[in-house]
Structure 1
């Protein structure tokens, strides 16, 4: 009986045990700054060049490489030196790797420039060091004169000189330098580009074989 009372007394004197979760060691998961409802202007070399509109903006300087994250989508407007709108870029999700000056845009990427060119894809990279856009996914380019689409796209930042490979598109035959002198001005012919054309088709239309890579330059 005495031994039982001693054991009960000893148990009642024990301190309660704290149940704690393990420490969070992955500091990469924590953003240095998170902002909501953003509509702000961004300057470059003292000149305002962009407007960023986004629902959420996370800045993480610990991740390698460091980045800005726009998980709720982004709308980016570009200005010239006189603060005139030159075009816009929008996407469902975006990352900006500030040390690399590289934008990665994903999901319903749309671009429109001052010349009326429209770009559509599910992926686009914007290299601020090389000053170019590129995409390795299916992309479509629409201009007032032509429409092209392909699985690889590369362009300068102003979308004035661009390249579409593995392409399918249509434009006036006169754009290819193949218009005959006997062709009436009101009878505009249309040529179709496709890298999947058969050998027989390519023999009848030599321009088709050159359509695997299409380069366009605007003045």
Structure 2
């Protein structure tokens, strides 16, 4: 009887040892699987993505092109971002941009509530946009793009052009930089004329502008 009792105790000890080993193996597998699981978290946001490289306030500066002063920028706030794609300048509190001709006279100037310059080539003007050139032509809209590389301006929103002898309004504006050659789609124009039957009164007549765009 004593010999049989000893065998029973030994078998129980072996069973306990096997159970502990199995559980240890299972726990090890779970730990390894958790440690190798891929993370689904988004990458950390780099502060350079949202912070400007340079900030300036109350600025009035001249900008040269090929060694010749061509532009003057006046703005309350100017932010430069050099880590974005493409790099950009922002003028969130408005801008006055003046362009000079070869004799350093103002060729035209533009004002807007907000302005962005992408890669120092493409200007995006938003809000109350007003342009006036040497000839007295005044352009107004809520949007204007100025491509300095192609030397052209364009806008798809409603716009108006006022000249000493004409008033034009419409959409899909395309123009050269000097705003001397432009085209407008779906446009109406007012042209003053003298009434031969009246010597002192001037009237105006509405006429449809050509719908076929002219290349600036």
Same fold (TM over 0.5): yes
For 1:143-199, what per-residue CA distance to the aligned partner results, in whole angstroms no more than 9, with x for missing partners?
11100000211100000001111111112579xxxxxxxx79x79874413xxxxxx
The reply to whether residue 138 of structure 1 matches residue 152 of structure 2 is no
Number of residue-to-residue matches in the alignment: 172
Asked if the contact 2:108/2:178 (under 8 Å) is kept, the reply is no
Partner of 2:102: 81
Question: Counterpart in 2 of 1:106?
Answer: 126
Note the C-alpha offset of 1:95: 0.4
Which residue pairs with 1:94 in the alignment? 115
The equivalent residue for 2:5 is: none
Q: Does 1:192 align with 2:206?
A: yes
The question of whether the paired residues in 2 share the 8 Å contact of 1:167 and 1:213 is answered with no
Please state how far the C-alpha of 1:98 moved relative to its aligned partner. 2.0
Q: What displacement does 1:211 show?
A: 3.7
Which has more radius of gyration? Answer: 2
- 1:24 to partner: Cα distance: 4.6
1:33/1:59 contact within 8 Å kept = yes
Helix, strand or coil for the counterpart of 1:166? strand
What is the TM-score normalised by the length of structure 1?
A: 0.70
Q: In the alignment, which residue of structure 2 is the partner of 1:52? A: 73
Q: What is aligned with 1:204?
A: none
SS of 1:64's equivalent in the other structure is coil
Distance 2:147 2:166 in 1: 26
Q: Assess if the C-alpha contact under 8 Å between 2:94 and 2:114 holds in 1.
A: yes
- Structure 1: state its 5+ residue gaps: 1-21, 175-182, 194-207
Q: Secondary structure at the match of 2:49?
A: helix
Runs of 4+ in structure 1 over 2 Å off? 22-27, 186-191, 210-217
CA contact (8 A) 1:167 1:214 kept: no
Structure 2 residue runs of 5 or longer lacking an equivalent are 1-42
What is the RMSD computed on CA atoms of the aligned residues?
Answer: 2.7
